[in-house]
Structure 1
């Protein structure tokens, strides 16, 4: 998804004013996104530092995670982001019902992520693994849990936008709210793309 639009060298001077660079989505949401990225960045650095203190423990604990579940969740979030992009493209073309269908598909992807993550958590808790098990699992539950609640928040945001889209609230000349929701959703996707290799894969 492109974050800004800008005139090209071939754009006539008379029309360049109409295609001036702009921020896609609401500024307030972008400030929230920057704050969330900073927060997660601090968590990531803390995790990396803790891992350096006890690499064998982290490697052993990481080996108990299910890479298949992690991979499926990665595919689900990336696909959901693609669906959100298609939704905005459809609404911009005036195909509002199709746009709503793409948003529903994105919500389905998010729902699949939530279901798989809950199964992962349930399996760990059933095995007696929790925040107090060791340092790795403390970070595992804190990082993935914090992200999990961001997925839920993004899904609520998308659900509201889906209802509004179905009601005809948005159209070719009004996709600002949809772009704002998309920006937040893409942040959630980006965070998981970092979390998956960091927590599940890297040794």
Structure 2
């Protein structure tokens, strides 16, 4: 319980292997709340510390099977067998404009497609806010599932990526995206 008598969310986590390296997955009772790249040693500890402080809960290694669906769907995605994630998501780690942009990205940019930062800004009613969209991508707590790797520069450049540009290239290639300017 917190100081207002509300129960704290419970957070379960697990590190799972993937085609792009170990991923730390975390879920609350609402759904998947976090995906972290390169989830070894210090990255894992920083991610767990962040979940602890931002959600007000002590993350525990998965015991209830809450992550089973996420593990299954990510495995199918990396095997090329899944194009659309159907997981319940907990949006607690994003808010405001960032949440609006991430929701539009998740709903409106399908597997195998890319979108420019500026175009995504226009879709959420903020033309000219391409840099703010870039900040939203950088704060995405659910990469891969909410596909920030599909957001690229208008001229075809990769742009940035929290998991590193090589990881972004590999995710795009997995989805069959190979335009020359991207590589």
Give the TM-score taking structure 1 as reference length: 0.25
Structure 1 or 2: larger helix share?
1
* Structure richer in strand, relative to its length: 2
Relative contact order (alpha carbons < 8 A, sep ≥ 6): 1 or 2 greater? 1
**TM value normalised by structure 2:** 0.27
Structure number with greater Rg is 1
